Structure 1
Amino acid sequence: MKTPKIIFTFLLICCFFTGFATIESLNGKWQGLLKTDHGDEYPLLYNFKIDGDQLTGTAKTPKGDVPINDGKITGNTFTFNVMVNNMEIDHTGKFYGDSVGVDISLGDAKSHATLIKAVTP
């Protein structure tokens, strides 16, 4: 009777560490393309850094790199914002392992983009 409990506990611990290792893979540079309803396209480049349940790093803008603010991680989802031209741009994302889906909102305007791991030379 003790063996099934030990196996079950071991499997739970493995699942916990697998989930933890997965979100840690979000560390690094991610790129994508934001397409607006008006047909405009903007390249996206983020450099994410994970520290426990905190997300920090930078986002590349036409005016240079800006810091990621108020970054929080819950499971495989995360939220943060960046300030560009005194405007707060909110981000909500989900990490899928090989890609990231991110919803970007500025006031009433909302867009979605898919990010992939950036290839570094």
Structure 2
Amino acid sequence: MKKITLTATLVCVVMACLAAVSGLAGKWQGSVKLADGNTYPANYEFQISDGKLTGTATAEGPPKVITDTRINGNDFSFSIADDDGSAIKHSGKYYPQGDSVSLNVNYGGTILHTTLTRKKN
């Protein structure tokens, strides 16, 4: 009986985590202000498949594929490669109640912050 209860509890926890992060799927937009004062658009498209985060990020130029993804509840992280191949690390939190994302971008050692909103079609 304990095994059944434990198994059922674990299944519920896993399903709750997947349900929470599955809301992250879709197109998101925001802007990032650099230290020099210039502001750039930041667009992301996230997909969730089998509990894994995939997608692309676009600021200027062609979309960059996100790599090195991690998901823990509503928290997630990933990297994209800069034009010179350097990793730009991102860490964020999805807020389902506000349907928004708080995202920190580590750009050359400087932490930049943006809030993403779901892109309307």
- TM interval, shorter chain, is 0.7 to 0.9
Q: Is the 8 A contact 1:53 1:72 kept in 2?
A: no
**In the comparison of the two structures, how many residue pairs are matched?**
111
* Contact residue 20 and residue 73 of structure 2 kept, 8 A: no
Whether 1:91 aligns to 2:99 is no
Question: What percent identity do the matched residue pairs reach?
Answer: 34
Cα RMSD of the aligned pairs, angstroms, is 2.0
Amino acid at match of 1:93: G
Query: Which deviations, in whole Å up to 9, do the C-alpha atoms of 1:89-110 show, x marking residues without a partner?
Result: 1000000011000000023211
- Normalised to the residue count of structure 2, the TM-score between the two structures is 0.80
Q: Identify unmatched segments of 5+ residues in structure 1.
A: 1-5
What residue in structure 2 maps to residue 117 of structure 1? 118
The separation in 1 between residues aligned to 2:89 and 2:104, in whole angstroms, is: 8
Greater mean alpha carbon deviation, residues 50-59 or residues 69-78: 50-59
1:66 aligns with 2:64: yes
Q: How big is the shift at 1:61?
A: 3.2
Scaled by the length of structure 1, the TM-score of the pair is: 0.80
1:8-67 deviation digits (Å, cap 9, x = unpaired): x89x94x76444322101001010011123211010100001124421111113221110
Unaligned runs of 5+ in 2: none
